[in-house]
Amino acid sequence: MTDTQPARRFRFGAFEADAASGELRRQGMRIKLNAQPFQVLLLLLERPGVLLTREEISKELWPDGTFVDYEHGVNSAVNRIREALGDTATNPRFVETLARRGYRFVAPVERMGGSPLAALNPEHPPVSLPQPEATPRSRFLANPEELPRTSHRVVQTLFVLMQFMYVGFYVGALANLAEIEDLLSPMPKATLIFNVLIVTAAALIPVRAFVLSAVFLHAPGARHKLLKMWPFLLAADELWALSPFLLLHHINFGLALACTTLLVYAPFAQRSLVLMGAGGADSRLTARSTPAE
């Protein structure tokens, strides 16, 4: 590389990259990244928000033209970067692919010991990702940097299975109203509880259908919409966490209690899965792009 600046250390999100030591760290812990992918990462960090073509990157990696299949080499290096950062081509938080053109770094970057780096190209300013609010809720709930790196297929599968689980609760309850009414009859305000069960089950079935459609069809802005819906679904899901007790004719109290405690956590797991990519890319934050080969 031709940059002769004495100290190049960059901070972005929970990560730090040190050009002198060739190390990438996340919250102080070293992350393995080979020399060439790390060199590509430094190129992107030095010019956040600016398109770097595959040709420009290849000239830095192989200045003598000794590498023939440079497109495969650059794509492979970018894929290694994404693996290290827990990023994806379809839902980029750091490295964005511009189809048939190249790559750009879309998260804010700070040169350590200096000021945040601004985009050099006014046509493509760096994309500002929302920062966690300094509130008790943001300290209690996970943010994307704290979540594990998992493949999009696994994340989406788990999220979809959870939606089908809830649909099963609603349909099962509506299909056994007579049994449930008999179970609730000894309780105070049994009629009110019974009516709330019917109304919430009937209302939440189309809500889950919307959520499943948004995820399956990769609806634009799905992630943002799901996160906005989450506080309302949280209240409904915590209410339906009691649904195992509707099966007391078939299971004992201890098993119902154990299932309920697991279901209390379920809405928080759903939120984490959305942040990990189950809702797809947020069109407010990133442009839609074609994945690297």
Measured between alpha carbons, how far is 202 from 196 in angstroms, rounded to an integer? 10
Tell me what pLDDT residue 150 has.
75
Cβ partners under 8 Å of residue 2, min gap 6 = 60
Report how far apart, in Å, the C-alpha atoms of 272 and of each of 73, 85, 192, 244 are.
Answer: 33, 17, 33, 24
**Contact residues for 266 (Cβ-Cβ < 8 A; gap 6+):** 162, 165, 237, 241
Scan for tokens 């788990």, then name that residue. 158
188-230 residue pLDDT tens: 999 999 999 999 999 999 999 999 998 888 887 788 888 889 9
Residue 125's pLDDT is: 47
Task: Give CA torsion, residues 99, 101, 107, 113, to 10 deg.
Answer: 160
Looking at residue 172, what is its pLDDT?
93
**What are the percentages of helix, strand and coil residues in the chain, rounded to 5?**
50, 10, 40
10 Å Cβ neighbour count for 27? 10
Q: What is the pLDDT of residue 72?
A: 75
Report the amino acid identity of residue 215: V
Tell me which residue has tokens 């000894």. Answer: 186
Ranges of the chain with pLDDT below 70: 1-7, 63-71, 113-140, 144-145, 280-293
First to last CA, the chain: 25
By CB atoms closer than 10 A (0-12, 13-18, 19+), residue 106 is buried
Q: Looking at residue 113, what is its pLDDT?
A: 65
User: In sequence order, which ranges of the chain are alpha helices (DSSP H)?
Assistant: 35-46, 54-61, 70-85, 136-140, 152-175, 177-184, 190-216, 222-240, 253-273
Q: Which domains does the chain have, with CATH numbers?
A: 9-129 (1.10.10.10), 139-278 (no CATH)
Give the CA distances from residue 11 to residues 41, 91, 167, in Å, rounded to whole numbers and listed in that order.
Answer: 12, 21, 43
Angle at 13 between CA 8 and CA 18, to 5 degrees: 20
Q: Which pLDDT score is estimated for 182? A: 92
How far is residue 209's CA from residue 163's CA, in Å, rounded to a whole number? Answer: 8
Per-residue pLDDT, 69: 59
Distance separating alpha carbons of residues 288 and 42, to the nearest angstrom? 24
User: Measured between alpha carbons, how far is 116 from 110 in angstroms, rounded to an integer?
Assistant: 4
Give me the DSSP letters along 173-214: HHHTHHHHHHHHTTSTTHHHHHHHHHHHHHHHHHHHHHHHHH
Our CA dihedral for 230, 232, 234, 240, rounded to 10 degrees, sits at: -130
